[in-house]
Chains A and B, each alone.
Chain A
Amino acid sequence: MRRVTLPLRPDWVEQVERLGFAFHTIDGEIYWDESAAFAFTLEEIERDIEAPTEAIEQLCFAFIEKALDSEEILTRLAIPAEHWDFIRSSWQRGERNLYGRLDLAYDGRGPAKLLEYNADTPTALFESSVVQWDWLEQAMARGAIPKGCDQFNSLHERLIAAFQGLREPSPYRLHLSCVQGSPEDKGTVDYLADCAVQAGLDARFTYIEELGLLTDGRFCDGANQPIETLFKLYPWEWMFRESYGKALAGSGCQFIEPPWKAILSNKGLLACLWEMEPGHPNLLPAFFEGDPRCATLSPRHVRKPLYSREGANVTLMERGRVLDSDDGPYGAEGHVLQDAATNLLSTEGKYAVLGSWLVASQACGLCVREDASPITKNTSRFLPHYIEP
């Protein structure tokens, strides 16, 4: 793995906008950054990213089995008890999942380490699937990188196939939703809707705030159409606690991601996986805050709220001193402490974090985001990658 500086396409804005990529610049700051790209060997991709990603997914499935039988674990994960049966039944029914993203620390030397699992509401999907794919084609065409390069990225065709298999019988009617006022979330959902249409589905968009409840207990969209299947780019831990939370179990709706993803999209997972497989080569030591074993962590460690997004409220500690932190509204439900990764690829004061994509639990794509601090935040930039021939 190496970082390669490359010239920008002179018309890069036009090129990415032609694909419908509207958030290449966020709040006046560059988000899509093609001034450099990350080059991998095929062996690095297959041995160090693809295989560990699927291994971690299997470990997560084993953990779900264990967690659903353990009131202690569900309590530690701060999942409200009134939703345990709802989560259990979604797992027992075998409700399928669409996608997720493992964030990994990796520098090409030694095994990748799991930083966290964005199992429920990952974004950066469209730019991973489409924009960097198109960048690769053009980079080869204009000779910026050698012809015959490849990319770890079959997201697009996997997403279409996964939509077809999420519900029987297919095609089915699918509602997709996200919050109002977030161009990034809307862009992600619009892309998924596009994939769903190509999968033959009747895809309809509705904002999460527009959802209504019918007298028979089903949810409906803004046009009062009953909702049978709902893709929601909105976290389970919020849905559980909001006023419609009590209507979830009786709604007869199939949710994507399924409710059992609530077990995985929780930073408590990091401590639980380490407890299950201490010493696993792809895991970092992690414990719930207050666990006496926290004393065995490295002096340089990270404190993460159980529920947190985009690096919010994450604190990097060194011998009790705060090195870096990001403000935010999270943390009321508790924290985990995790050893700081020592294998983040750092170039010119920038830190790269790998996002390893899963679609229908299969590893099938990669994105790299870079930030000026070791905590990847919502200010990070997206850089494309390629596999060298």
Chain B
Amino acid sequence: MKRSSQIGLAAAGVLLVATVWSMTSEDPQENLVYDSLGDCRAAGQLTAQQCETAFSEATAARLKDAPKFQSQTACETQYGANGCSSATIGGAQYFIPALAGFMLARGLSGGQQAQPLMPPTASACPPGSTLPECQQARSSSSGSSGSSSSYGSNRSRAYSTTSGRSITAAFAGGSRGGSVSTTSVSSRGGFGSTARSFSSHSSS
């Protein structure tokens, strides 16, 4: 026979297909975010050992890489009230942004170290901002003792990285682990212009 033995059209319902394989929504570029060591353990996505390693990497990186200020006021102007803490680095006293959380690549492949997350900067979350991610960031204390507010619903929280980039993590309802896509859309609509100019002719 030179033809198909059967035609199934799922859309038209001519033959129903029992299993539709669905890819997990995990983006390989996605990063995990925890506000505290306790949240990391409670989320259950990593082992306790992995959480501790990530937390200590982030703590060390914060001391090394975070912006350093001579005064608490200068630091809080950037990172908000109660957004800074003092630290002794190389024998000198500084004020540096607090550890608001830490972020690590999902899958832990590639040997990347966990990154410290700090409060959002004043340019991302100006004082009095009503953006939910900013309110969340300003209201909750953080660090190793971290006790975040409600875990009951979807929430988002803004942070900044040591390089000054602002990021927003999404926390699914009830989860103490958040996620953030490291990528964002930079543009849209770069294809289709020829079809618009040739509107009456398309495929063949």
Contacts and interface: CB of A to CB of B under 8 A. Distances in A.
A106 B186 CA distance: 51
Given A210-B188, A387-B2, A197 B202 contact: no
Given A213-B186, A226-B183, A130 B9 contact: yes
B203 A213 contact: no
B12 A18 contact: yes
Interface string A197-208: 110111000011
B4 A309 contact: no
Given A201-B21, A210-B188, A194 B202 contact: no
Interface residues of B, number: 42
Contact of A19 (B12, B186, B187, B191): B12
Contacts of A328: 198, 201
Nearest to B195: A179
A20 B192 contact: no
Given A202-B22, A213-B187, A241-B194, A123 B2 contact: no
Nearest to A160: B8
Contact of A122 (B20, B188, B204): B204
A212 B189 contact: yes
B12 A20 contact: yes
B3 A216 contact: no
Contact of B183 (A118, A151, A218): A218
B29 A216 contact: yes
Interface string A369-381: 0000000001000
A189 to B, nearest CB: 10
Contact of B189 (A179, A190, A211): A211
A209 interface: yes
B197 interface: yes
Given A197-B10, A202-B22, A241-B194, A151 B27 contact: no
Q: Which secondary structure dominates chain B's binding surface?
A: loop
Interface in B7-33: 7-12, 14, 17, 19-23, 27, 29
Interface stretch (A232-240, A294-302, A315-323): A232-240
Contacts of A266: none
B92 interface: no
A166 B17 CA distance: 21
A235 to B, nearest CB: 8
A310 B8 CA distance: 29
A118 B23 CA distance: 32
A171 B27 CA distance: 16
A121 B203 contact: yes
Contact of A156 (B1, B7, B198, B202): B7
Contacts of A152: 2-3
B149 interface: no
Contact of A20 (B11, B19, B21): B11
A242 B2 contact: no
Contact of B11 (A42, A157, A194, A243): A194
A92 interface: no
Contact of A208 (B2, B10, B195, B197): B195
Given A202-B22, A213-B187, A134 B195 contact: no
Interface string A154-182: 11111000000000000111000011111
Interface in B163-204: 182-195, 197-199, 201-204
Given A212-B187, A329-B198, A134 B7 contact: yes
A26 to B, nearest CB: 12
Contacts of A180: 192
A151 B3 CA distance: 6
B130 interface: no
A238 to B, nearest CB: 4
Contact of B10 (A179, A194, A224): A194
A142 to B, nearest CB: 18
Contact of A309 (B17, B189, B197, B202): B202
Contacts of B187: 212-213
B197 to A, nearest CB: 7
Given A18-B12, A182-B202, A243-B191, 5 more contacts: A123-B203, A154-B3, A179-B202, A197-B20, A211-B190
Interface of A: 18-20, 42, 45, 118, 121-123, 129-130, 133-134, 136, 150-158, 171-173, 178-182, 184-185, 188, 190, 193-194, 197-198, 200-202, 207-216, 218, 220, 224, 226, 233-235, 238-239, 241-244, 247, 309-310, 312, 328-330, 378, 387
6 contacts: A158-B4, A188-B203, A197-B20, A201-B21, A202-B23, A215-B185
Nearest 3 pairs between A and B by C-beta?
A244-B190, A238-B194, A212-B188
